[in-house]
């Protein structure tokens, strides 16, 4: 790493330590030219994919939008905040593991539906009714048939 004081191209690492939660590394460095010491931090850069909406617009992934979807579908249902957070975390991890730069919003909707299927039947039907724009009782019956599969 280049010295921020004198611009020397190489510096020595004197000490390395992981921070308390293990998400970054703190390094103490010393410049062999000017002998000044400084600290750097190393963290992993994880980028969520860009969301491609149905109309073709692109936007950054927003965890809050996914959480809101769960909370609306599970309003007044016996599902804990921890369960919702865990489901959102599983979706985020799946997106990161996929490694793609872009993902269609429909895919995220399907992932939310799959998590809701596991968490709560009523929440699943609520979300499906909005996501698939149910127009009548027959649409609900069809969704219930799909749920039983």
Q: Are residues 28 and 71 in the same domain?
A: no
Number of domains in the chain: 2
Q: Is residue 7 part of a domain?
A: no
Tens of pLDDT along the chain (149 residues)? 899 999 999 999 999 999 877 888 999 999 999 999 999 999 877 789 999 999 999 999 999 999 999 999 999 999 999 999 999 999 999 998 888 899 999 999 999 999 999 999 899 889 888 877 787 888 777 777 766 65
Q: Are residues 120 and 56 in the same domain?
A: yes
d(CA 90, CA 96): 10
Q: Are residues 71 and 124 in the same domain?
A: yes
Q: Are residues 89 and 71 in the same domain?
A: yes
Q: What is the DSSP letter of 66?
A: H
68: helix, strand or coil? helix
Q: How many CB atoms lie within 10 A of CB 7?
A: 10
d(CA 69, CA 51): 16
Q: Are residues 67 and 85 in the same domain?
A: yes
């Amino acid at each position: 790493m280049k010295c921020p004081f004198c611009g020397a191209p190489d510096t020595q690492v004197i000490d390395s330590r992981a921070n308390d939660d293990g998400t970054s590394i703190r390094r103490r460095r010393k410049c062999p030219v000017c002998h000044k010491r400084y600290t750097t931090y190393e963290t992993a850069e994880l980028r969520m994919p860009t969301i491609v909406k149905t109309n073709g617009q692109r936007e950054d992934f927003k965890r809050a939008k996914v959480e809101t979807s769960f909370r609306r579908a599970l309003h007044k249902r016996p599902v804990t905040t921890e369960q919702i957070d865990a489901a959102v975390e599983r979706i985020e991890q799946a997106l990161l593991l996929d490694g793609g730069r872009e993902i269609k919003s429909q895919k995220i909707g399907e992932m939310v539906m799959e998590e809701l299927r596991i968490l709560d039947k009523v929440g699943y039907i609520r979300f499906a009714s909005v996501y698939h724009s149910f127009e009548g009782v027959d649409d609900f019956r069809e969704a219930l048939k799909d749920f039983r599969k």
